[in-house]
Amino acid sequence: MHAIRIEEHGGPEVMRWSELPDPTPGTGEALVRLGAAGVNYMDTGARAQGGPGWAAPVVLGAEGMGYVTALGAGVHDLAVGDRVAWFYHPGSYAELLTIPADSLVKVPDGVSDETAAAVLMQGLTANHLSTEAYPVGPGDTAVVHAAAGGVGLLLTQMVKARGGNVIGLVSRPEKAGVAREAGADHVLVHSGGGFEEQVRELTGGRGADVVYDGGGADTFASSQSALRPHGVHAYYGPFMGVPTLRPTDLPNSILLTYPVVHHHVATREALVRRAGEVFDMVLEGRLIPRITGRYPLAEAARAHADIESRRTTGKLLLLP
């Protein structure tokens, strides 16, 4: 089989289409033939700088869907031929993968292969942000960073489904229409900070109830200044830079949280339940991923270059 592997960290040029031995499923594992892999900013961070579990040499990729082709001992709730998806498994840029069966969820009939690959990681992230990091209620105002990106588009739809209002932030004017199509009530064009006064104007001087901030260190202070007293700053952009601060730097008695999706689906039961919520929204037409780029798996470096250029919107997929 072939996979996208790096021998050292760096730019997209370090990514190699490598021939590797076919894997064999062990106890509790399934062998899965890749149907599609999702591209995420997490992948570009793993490629560029590594991190826990991503030290080179390593096969990149974390999210995807595929077809079960063999089962290891002790796997009883899957069958050969099942369509399955996963939100996190290192090494997902590969034609064949062995994945713990407990990490897989079955893809419902009515959800296409590409949609399943596009929606799970970012859908679970958006589900976590809108239900546990700050449970959006009717009339709440949420600021959504990168509102035309993969998480941002899904998060906007989830906030609207829960009765909230969305102020979307996008980096380029041409992305504003994409965010509005997803349901954003207002769209501001900003590539960094400096948007807090506009948010306050749009909220009658009160400030937003929550800022969902995947923008990184450059937006950190403005996100906090845009909040109402006791508002919530949900910061989920570690690969975009991690700022330092003292607790006394926090304005207006705001609450700061760092939501990690693994904590949202820490058990098998939670994973199945939360993935079911995401898939149900897809089946009901309330959650529509916007797939804007499809690349051969062998050309994953081109997908990385495109997503890092900030020119893309929605979700990028790699197809074997």
| Confidence check: pLDDT of 216 > 80 | no
Identify the pLDDT of residue 214: 87
| Confidence check: pLDDT of 232 > 60 | yes
Instruction: Provide the phi-psi class of 297: left if phi over 0, else alpha when psi is between -120 and 50, else beta.
Output: alpha
Cβ atoms of 145 and 159 within 8 Å: the answer is no
Mean per-residue pLDDT for 105-111?
A: 98
Least confident of 98-102, 128-132, 193-197, 241-245: 241-245
Residue 115 DSSP one-character state: H
Residue 312 pLDDT level (bands cut at 50, 70, 90): confident
| Confidence check: pLDDT of 106 > 80 | yes
Cβ atoms of 282 and 80 within 8 Å: the answer is no
| Confidence check: pLDDT of 311 > 90 | no
Identify the pLDDT of residue 240: 60
Instruction: Provide the phi-psi class of 282: left if phi over 0, else alpha when psi is between -120 and 50, else beta.
Output: alpha
CA distance 239 to 310: 15
Identify the pLDDT of residue 182: 97
Q: What is the pLDDT of residues 144-182, one digit of tens each?
A: 999 999 999 999 999 999 999 999 999 999 999 999 999
Q: What is the pLDDT of residues 23-41, one digit of tens each?
A: 999 999 999 999 999 999 8
Q: Please state whether beta strands 165-170 and 141-144 pair in parallel, antiparallel, or not at all (unpaired).
A: parallel
Share of the chain above pLDDT 90, in %: 89
| Confidence check: pLDDT of 242 > 80 | no
Mean per-residue pLDDT for 71-87?
A: 97
Identify the residue whose tokens are 């689906």: 265
| Confidence check: pLDDT of 262 > 90 | yes
Residue 316 pLDDT level (bands cut at 50, 70, 90): very high
| Confidence check: pLDDT of 52 > 60 | yes
Task: Compare 291 and 311 and report the one with higher pLDDT.
Answer: 291
Q: How buried is 285 (Cβ within 10 angstroms: 0-12 exposed, 13-18 middle, 19+ buried)? A: exposed
In our burial notation (b when 16+ CB lie closer than 10 A, e otherwise), range 96-110 reads bbbbbbebbbbbeee
Identify the pLDDT of residue 37: 98
Could you please state the CATH topology (level 3) that the domain comprising 123-262 is classified under. Rossmann fold (3.40.50)
Could you please state the CATH topology (level 3) that the domain comprising 2-107+290-319 is classified under. Quinone Oxidoreductase; Chain A, domain 1 (3.90.180)
Residue 239 pLDDT level (bands cut at 50, 70, 90): low
Residue 7 pLDDT level (bands cut at 50, 70, 90): very high
Nearest residue to 187 via CA among 147, 218, 226:
147
Bridge partners, residue 208, by sequence: 227
CA distance 166 to 210: 10
Q: How buried is 256 (Cβ within 10 angstroms: 0-12 exposed, 13-18 middle, 19+ buried)? A: middle
Per DSSP, which regions of the chain are E strands? 2-6, 15-19, 29-39, 58-59, 63-71, 83-86, 96-100, 105-106, 141-144, 165-170, 186-189, 208-213, 227-235, 255-257, 291-296, 315-319
In our burial notation (b when 16+ CB lie closer than 10 A, e otherwise), range 39-58 reads bbbbbbbbbbeeeeebeeeb
Q: What are phi and psi of 267, to 5 degrees?
A: -120, 160
CA distance 61 to 42: 8
Work out the mean pLDDT of the chain and round it to a whole number: 95
Identify the pLDDT of residue 238: 61
Mean per-residue pLDDT for 74-81?
A: 96
Mean per-residue pLDDT for 57-77?
A: 97
Residue 196 pLDDT level (bands cut at 50, 70, 90): very high
Half-sphere exposure of 237 (CA within 13 A, CB side): 23
Identify the pLDDT of residue 241: 64
Residue 279 pLDDT level (bands cut at 50, 70, 90): very high
The ranges assigned to domains in the chain are 2-107+290-319, 123-262
